[in-house]
Structure 1
């Protein structure tokens, strides 16, 4: 355990999770600002979140696996794909990165366009129960897309996993924004809530829904559809994912990439 934490590769991976989440939150929230001259559209926001995830998956995925989402990290832990220690450090880095990204955006945006900094909230008379179900379904499809598109055991053409994951995030936003503003990622909800100090009574929805949805996807994929298991030493040695969960990089031979919203 001490060897893992003190390794340069581990420190780089944790920093990559921090940086990737910071950039993702900055661009995602930035697309939803309420500029007086041009209010954002649902399509604009959806594409911005999807493009941000795809870009970070391609850029920093080879360093850390590119989880960028506490729900995905915890799902991989449940699926026995990463060590507990790495999961703890990753989640901490993601949450701090989300706060930093939201904080930078808050400092740069004029007050007349800042609004509530796109803090997630239940909309359109949606009940908390309905909101949890929606977030669960949205994150479930995202997690399945991540696990499947990065599985090198597949014999069928996969294409670009980063693109597939980005489109999955875009799909979720096209539907989810109407219900909850679309989270699919506890860090994305936590960052602006901290910066704006706006924790609604329903903030728990944006943790429970994504975590349960991603966990269900991990159990289905790793234990039922395509069983795979690693020993503790293997999980530490390989860092993020087993060799069968590798994707072809555009610029390198093989690099592990796993992401989220």
Structure 2
């Protein structure tokens, strides 16, 4: 779990469509929001930027299979020989009027996420059974969840009853010109390097193979750029930051390396050359 307050510089985010307008309109109407899109396309950074713009603290929870309702709501802990109640991140957000962001919410069990229902609709309440009380959400509270539809299955999906309590914002990868600006800014590389990395990413996204569960995200392109800034060649950076994380299949990895060699300059070309 991470928590942050809107201070300092606004997190870098380039608007692609009307997602900022939709998010802020839904937030002002006390509506919960679900962000859908592929891994590494900017969902988390978008939430950080929106929390900054709205002047609200942000509490982020990375969901996983073992996440329980108690992990979200809270539990009794033994401290100094005495039993004390400790709020979970969701309860803290409800009390403080923060935005609570549940990242990859479908990774959590459905019997855990059902606790969101009274918060996600008109009631805006969080029942805490162990305390025997129901909290009304403080002004400013917002509930945002995200997931990658590419991982959907019968076992990993949002319940329909959860979906219909939320406004959905669809995310995809930005257009090449926008993505170049993002990679250049986030990685600190020049325009030529950012452009070459984006062209490679676009090519990988057009590949259809069973051995490639995910395509090259903006995140891995930025990671490549950051390694280039550190002095690694473009091809080496792409091999370890793109080909390596995307697949363990030797045949598919070989194909990706061939694409890297075809789309990126020779190994002696580095940032600043």
Q: Is the structural similarity TM-score above 0.5?
A: no
Higher relative contact order, chain-length normalized (CA < 8 Å, sep 6+)? 1
TM-score normalised to structure 2 length = 0.24
